[in-house]
Amino acid sequence: MPTTLARSFTLTALLAAAGGAAAQTPVANPMPDGSRDMYLGLGLQSANRYEGGSGRHLLLMPVLQAEWSNGVFISGASAGMHWSGSEGLEYGPLLSLHPGRSERGRALTGAGLSGTGSNTALPPLLMGGWPAMTRMTGMPDVPRRLEGGAFLTWYLNPQWRLANSVLYGAGRERDGLRATVDLQRVAAAVAPHHTLSFTAGITLADAHYNRALFGVTPAQELVGANFVRRPYAPGGGVKDVHAGVRWNWALAPSWMLTSGAHAARLAGDAKASPLVERPTSVTAWSALAYRF
């Protein structure tokens, strides 16, 4: 990551990852009153069609990350505000746009430089044929939802931190609750103009969230050629475990190439859902960003 970017942002990773829009929280940084720092970019992302699905698609990935001197920030599909003035501790309110899911896969949202590179609402590229019947056939759409909550980040030392977020409002009934706990390695210089960052963590979800994304009602029961979709009402608990890596290459003072990969494995009641074809999902991306 370029030195200029390091003054305002450190790297974090998802959320919720493949299962939803992860909360992105740029590091609070004293800035001159009335100033701001902003990056815009565009890239490509390869991701599972939906969380738990086996098919993949390639999408355009817009990148947006900005921070203002009053503590307000935007990072991809998340926005919030830093309230803490304490060194080593950051907290504040957080809003996030949770991705929806259609019968053909997930309706995706935007990404920030500190995110896992997921996702975009732009039309998908290079989408292959869709089988006549899948585990998702006949399932109702799960609309995008605006979630509200808070984040708390605790620095163990200058290089390592625990990033936590709690968000409410996902699902068809807007009653899904999820929480993410991540151990993150802040960007480390591995060569001139090159940095790496890492993250690993878990996502927890309540029964309302899991039933919206992984549940099957009696009316949605389906028997296919290679599967049986029985009624299923999952409970809450650990939804997934995940890990990610990001590589930033400073091409010039205002240009950077950001690339990375994120893997998540469903767990507990989410993994046992009859909608799940493959419990492990991997997302990879690369984007070019410009600093304003």
Instruction: Look at residue 224 in the predicted model and tell me its pLDDT.
Output: 83
Instruction: Look at residue 11 in the predicted model and tell me its pLDDT.
Output: 30
Instruction: Look at residue 17 in the predicted model and tell me its pLDDT.
Output: 31
List the chain residues with pLDDT less than 70.
1-32, 34, 105-132
Closest CA relative to residue 249, chosen from 178, 187, 159: 187
Paired tokens of 187: 């960007």
Instruction: Look at residue 117 in the predicted model and tell me its pLDDT.
Output: 37
Instruction: Look at residue 25 in the predicted model and tell me its pLDDT.
Output: 56
**Predicted TM-score (pTM) of this structure:** 0.83
| Alpha-carbon span 115 to 94, nearest angstrom | 15
Residues of the chain by 3-state class (helix, strand, coil), percent to 5: 5, 50, 40
Tally: H helices and E strands in the chain = 3, 16
Residues 6+ apart with CB under 8 A from 69: 31, 32, 33, 34, 35, 36
> What is the torsional sign of CA 225, 100, 12, 88?
negative
pLDDT digits (tens, 9 = 90+) for 57-101: 898 989 999 999 899 999 988 999 999 878 899 999 999 999 888
